Structure 1
Amino acid sequence: MENKKINVYLAGDSTVQTYDSSRAPQAGWGQCIADYFTDDVQFFNHAIGGRSSKTFITEGRLEKIGQEIKEGDYLFIQMGHNDSTKSRPERYTEPYEDYKEYLRQYIKVARERMAIPILITPVGRLHYVRGEFLADFGDYCNAMKEVADEEDVLLIDLMKTSIQYFTTIGYEEVHRFFMISVNGADCIHFTEKGANEMARLVSEGIKALNIELSHFVK
């Protein structure tokens, strides 16, 4: 009997997106995630830089996923990095109001097509103050957790696990995960090394959920 193929769709921002080789060593965890799953799982990375939960929808990107996703597929949703930009009203969302409503739209699209949504809190940045890694986007992380509870949706707290991991291995190692190690300035976007580590954390998060997809984590 032929093995069942599982499709996973990714909705996210620049920390998730796939970059072509001209942008190396910059990478998003979405381009590395397949390495942590068996060949039975196929990933479709729709993540793109600069998008918030709002603009990903207004540009028709969620609609495109909705046209492809089907019963038994998964939709990973990591949004929040760009939602907090008040200076960019076209993409800003208020965490406990429209951000939550936009997240519900992703869930609705998945469930209407009998697919399984999984919320993922924003991944940590290299925010290091007085010997401590700081978690950012607190209101957005909390709001996403509220939506997960209210809508009975699975959630991976990537902010929590990434900051915990950073703390375990220390600043010098974590510095190499971010593009600041290449260009001296960027504490948000990942190098290939960092993207691989974040993909591993996501895969471990999936394994811990103990769902069907968990059995396909290497």
Structure 2
Amino acid sequence: MAGMTLDRRTLLRAALGGAVAGGLGFAGAGAADAGHRPPRRTVFVAGDSTAATYAVADAPRAGWGQALPVFLRPGIRVVNEALSGASSKSFADLGRLDRILAAIRPGDVLLISFGHNDEKVEDPARGTDPWGAFQDYLRRYVDGARSRQARPVLVTPVERRRFTADGVPYQSHGEYPAAMRALAAGTGTPLIDLTASSFARWGALGPEATKSHFLWLDAGVSPNYPAGVADNTHFQAHGAIEVARLVVAEGRMLPGRDCRALRETTIPDDVLVWPATRPAES
């Protein structure tokens, strides 16, 4: 197998399995850290369906948070709380932010990535104005992490697969990425501009090649999608891995970045682990 040994694949699957199992296991993690070893640093993910961890019944659908451990060393724990359908507002209003803040520790990192569902302004439970409530809610994540001596990192929303009839990519998130960039600058918060890096990536690949990244499957290819699927927002395993690569490549503030993995040109889809149920929804 090009670029990756069997041992490397086994290690990655073990790391990913641990991250999935740890998604809701805060108490167990604390008990494990209570011994003589120093506590493991943790990367928490607050986000939406593009980052979420998916179950066996959803495979090969996957989120970039699910693939994040591929590019982090095994000593770094990932707790992916990204929730399908969530906006910055609904995630906080549902108590999901409080849940993270109850578990996060000094030195941990909180990745904050919203925008897709904030754009649904017709939905009062989720919609936010980019220069108003969106920034106000994001500030709650930033301030909450800092109050616990953890490091917040804002991540602009990953771009959708959008091309004109002539094959020219176009952006779909309106002013939300700009509003997040402005908040990052105004509050001195580190920023990963995933909107920009993913837009450049999809443009370089073009309309056809991007289908192998997004959840595009022909009928009969997957038992979970017998009629096929053409989804321009969510990812299959390959796309989730490559978006996670973009996050970690730009995220130089992340602990335990695995530069060797970032240099791997071919990472097999089956390094990912799909748990029995979606951990953020269990």
With structure 2 as the length reference, what TM-score do the two structures score? 0.73
One-letter identity of the residue aligned with 2:249: E
Query: What's the counterpart of residue 203 of structure 1?
Result: 248
One-letter identity of the residue aligned with 1:64: R
**Which whole-Å CA distance do the structure 1 matches of 2:259 and 2:113 have between them?**
19
Query: What's the counterpart of residue 42 of structure 1?
Result: 77
Query: What's the counterpart of residue 164 of structure 1?
Result: 200
**Which whole-Å CA distance do the structure 2 matches of 1:88 and 1:212 have between them?**
34
1:129-168 aligned at under 5 Å gives the runs 129=164, 130-168=166-204
**Which whole-Å CA distance do the structure 2 matches of 1:185 and 1:85 have between them?**
21
Check 1:178–1:67 CA distance in 2 against 1; reply closer, same or farther (3 A cut): same
129-138 or 65-74: bigger deviation: 129-138
> What's the secondary structure of 1:189's corresponding residue?
strand
Query: What's the counterpart of residue 176 of structure 1?
Result: 212
Aligned pair count? 215
Query: What's the counterpart of residue 213 of structure 1?
Result: 255
**Which whole-Å CA distance do the structure 2 matches of 1:153 and 1:45 have between them?**
20
How far the C-alpha of 1:133 sits from its partner, in A, is 1.5
Of structures 1 and 2, the one with the larger relative CO (CA 8 A, separation 6+) is 2
Q: Are residues 1:189 and 2:224 paired?
A: no
RMSD: 1.7
1:46-57 aligned at under 5 Å gives the runs 46-57=81-92
Q: Are residues 1:18 and 2:18 paired?
A: no
Pick from 156, 177, 181 the counterpart of residue 121 of structure 1: 156
Percent identical among aligned pairs is 36
One-letter identity of the residue aligned with 2:232: C
**Which whole-Å CA distance do the structure 1 matches of 2:204 and 2:110 have between them?**
30
Say if 2:44 and 2:110, in contact at 8 Å, map to a contact too: yes
Say if 2:73 and 2:257, in contact at 8 Å, map to a contact too: no
With structure 1 as the length reference, what TM-score do the two structures score? 0.93
Q: Deviations over 1:119-149 (max 9, x none)?
A: 0000011111122111221300000001001
Query: What's the counterpart of residue 111 of structure 1?
Result: 146
> What's the secondary structure of 2:101's corresponding residue?
helix
Unaligned runs of 5+ in 2: 1-35, 219-227, 261-282
**Which whole-Å CA distance do the structure 1 matches of 2:136 and 2:151 have between them?**
18
One-letter identity of the residue aligned with 2:238: K
63-72 or 32-41: bigger deviation: 32-41
100-109 or 81-90: bigger deviation: 81-90
> What's the secondary structure of 1:119's corresponding residue?
strand
One-letter identity of the residue aligned with 1:213: P
Larger Rg: 2
Say if 1:34 and 1:43, in contact at 8 Å, map to a contact too: yes
**Which whole-Å CA distance do the structure 2 matches of 1:203 and 1:3 have between them?**
24
**Which whole-Å CA distance do the structure 1 matches of 2:256 and 2:185 have between them?**
21
Say if 1:41 and 1:216, in contact at 8 Å, map to a contact too: no
**Which whole-Å CA distance do the structure 2 matches of 1:64 and 1:80 have between them?**
20
One-letter identity of the residue aligned with 1:140: Y
161-170 or 148-157: bigger deviation: 161-170
